[in-house]
Amino acid sequence: MKKICLAVINDIPSFLSGEVLNFKSPKDWLCDAFASCEGDSLGAVCCLCEIEDKIKDYDVLFLVSSKYPLIDSFTINDSISAHLSGKFAATAISSSEYEDIAAAVIDISALGEVKGIKSVSDALLRVGENGHKIGIHLVDSDSIFPITSASALSYANDAAQEAIIQSLLENDVVIISKQTTFVSPDAEIESEAIILPNTIIKGKSVIKKGAVIGPNSVISDSTIGEGSVINACQILESTVGNNTKIGPFTQLRPNSHIGDNVKIGDFVEVKNSTIGDSTSVAHLTYVGDSDVGRKVNFGCGTVTVNYDGKNKFRTQIGDYAFIGCNSNLIAPVKIGDNAFTAAGSTVTHDVPDDALYISREKDERIIEGWAEKKLGKRRF
């Protein structure tokens, strides 16, 4: 049994090498395809000499150019099988439509010195220079469509999205506008979810049954619970519970965890915080580095003041607390269960359970030299 390894030669033009193909880089598309193939993935390299020590442990190398990211696992396995059943030291992978060589299956013993091999063609040339014969295996042209220009990338993106959207429609996901909906191949959307126009779902996001996403929303590596409504929001690396309503114009920054039956309204930002079930944060509020209980009400203009210029601090808010409009909660601070803060208060001390905090005394002072004493010579 021959040992097989797989590698990508990263030779695509630099302006096409980022996360431009359906939210993933071309080399990552290929490395993902390797996961379903026979053999061990050695990742992406610019030159074979980078993995010279590794490939010596194998018998056969499948080498593919990152300019051909649509090569799938079926094509890879089929090409390897064709090579192993043939009598050539290397097998070039191409199609009847495109003249370029997209990939090759190579007996590593036929390569010899790998220094200077920076493309699939370089590798095949080296095999030929070493006196070995090279065969060719033709595959479906769609799988080796070359991406070497912005127009080719646009075509590939359209083709990839069409396949993803069609699969979702067949699973009873409602997509209002196929032309303005973009879904990552790694995302999971359950049946009866509704995707409204101008929605982007990136990474390994999960959209649960009956959720409504959009319009004008970005969901990235996040989970949205059943029946939740996300309207004109950006949600990044966070979780949203069931039957929660968020938006419009709301941002959940990474590591935000929103409970069930929560309302988060317009111009609210949440960062690195947990918000308990049935809490309302209706508008114009910043909740950062906070742990918020159940059935809390935030008045308009509340800010959890988490940063003193050097360090971040957390705010704790108990169940059933009521935070009055324009309250500033100066962390670290704890607001107890059933506690109230009066509108306009700047809260600098912990508030016990069932208490009311009022801070409205007139205190207007200018303290000269305070910033230099606090921060030293540093300036932003």
The per-residue pLDDT for range 14-43, each reduced to its tens digit, is 888 888 888 888 889 899 889 888 889 999
| Backbone Cα Rg of the chain | 28
CATH number at residue 42: 3.90.550.10
pLDDT > 90? residue 141:
no
Query: Does 77 lie in the same domain as 209?
Result: no
Do residue 10 and residue 140 come from a single domain? yes
Q: Report the pLDDT value the prediction gives residue 61, as an integer from 0 to 100.
A: 95
Q: What is the CATH number of the domain that holds 283?
A: 2.160.10.10
In a domain, 161, yes or no: no
Close Cβ partners of 117 (under 8 Å, ≥ 6 residues apart): 47, 48, 49, 111, 123, 126
| Catalytic-labelled residue, pool 83, 132, 137, 283 | 283
Give pLDDT, residue 363: 61
- Number of structural domains the chain divides into: 2
83 assigned to active site: no
Buried b (16+ CB within 10 A) or exposed e, 327-352: bbbbbebbbbeebbbbbebbbeeebe
**Distance (Å, rounded) from C-alpha 208 to C-alpha 176?**
17
Same domain assignment for residues 37 and 123: yes
Q: Are residues 123 and 186 in the same domain?
A: no
- Per-residue pLDDT at 121: 93
For residues 140 and 174, what is the distance between their CA atoms, to the nearest angstrom?
32
Q: At what angle do helices 73-84 and 26-34 cross, to 10 degrees?
A: 60
pLDDT band at 113 (very low <50, low <70, confident <90, very high): confident
**pLDDT (tens digit per residue) in 213-258:** 999 999 999 999 999 999 999 999 999 999 999 999 999 999 999 9
117 SS3 class: coil
Q: Within this chain, do residues 130 and 194 fall inside the same structural domain, yes or no?
A: no
In tens, the pLDDT along 315-369 reads 999 999 999 999 999 999 999 999 999 999 999 999 999 999 998 766 656 567 7
Residue 364 lies in a domain: yes
Output the six-digit token pair for 189: 């959307």
pLDDT in tens, 274-325: 999 999 999 999 999 999 999 999 999 999 999 999 999 999 999 999 999 9
pLDDT of residue 379: 53
Mean pLDDT score, 97-115: 88
Segments forming the whole domain that contains residue 338:
170-375
Q: Is 155 domain-assigned?
A: no
Is 157 domain-assigned?
no
Domain identity same for 11 and 134: yes
> In this structure, are 108 and 30 located in the same domain?
yes
Q: Is residue 334, in this structure, part of any structural domain at all?
A: yes
Q: Which residues contact 154 (CB under 8 A, 6 or more apart)?
A: none
Residue 159 is assigned to a structural domain of this protein: no
Residues 93 and 193 in one domain: no
Q: What is the mean pLDDT of the chain?
A: 92
In a domain, 47, yes or no: yes
Residues 6 or more apart in contact with residue 91 via CB below 8 angstroms: 79, 82, 83, 104, 105, 106, 134, 135, 136, 137
pLDDT confidence of 81, banded at 50, 70, 90? very high
140 and 174 assigned to the same domain: no
Q: Is the preceding omega at residue 26 within 30 degrees of 0, hence cis?
A: no
- Residue 374 banded pLDDT, cuts 50, 70, 90: low
State whether 354 and 208 are in the same domain: yes
pTM of the model: 0.84
Same domain, 125 and 232: no
User: Which of 85, 109, 144 is the last residue in one of the domains?
Assistant: 144
Last residue of a domain, one of 91, 110, 144: 144
> Do 75 and 209 share a structural domain?
no
What tokens does 190 get? 């359950």
Which residue among 93, 109, 144 closes a domain? 144
What letters, b where the CB count within 10 A reaches 16 and e where it falls short, cover 13-27?
eeebbeebbbbbbbb
Distances (CA, A) of 269 to 237, 254, 285: 14, 11, 7
Q: Would you state the pLDDT for residue 210?
A: 98
Whether 221 is in a domain gets the answer yes
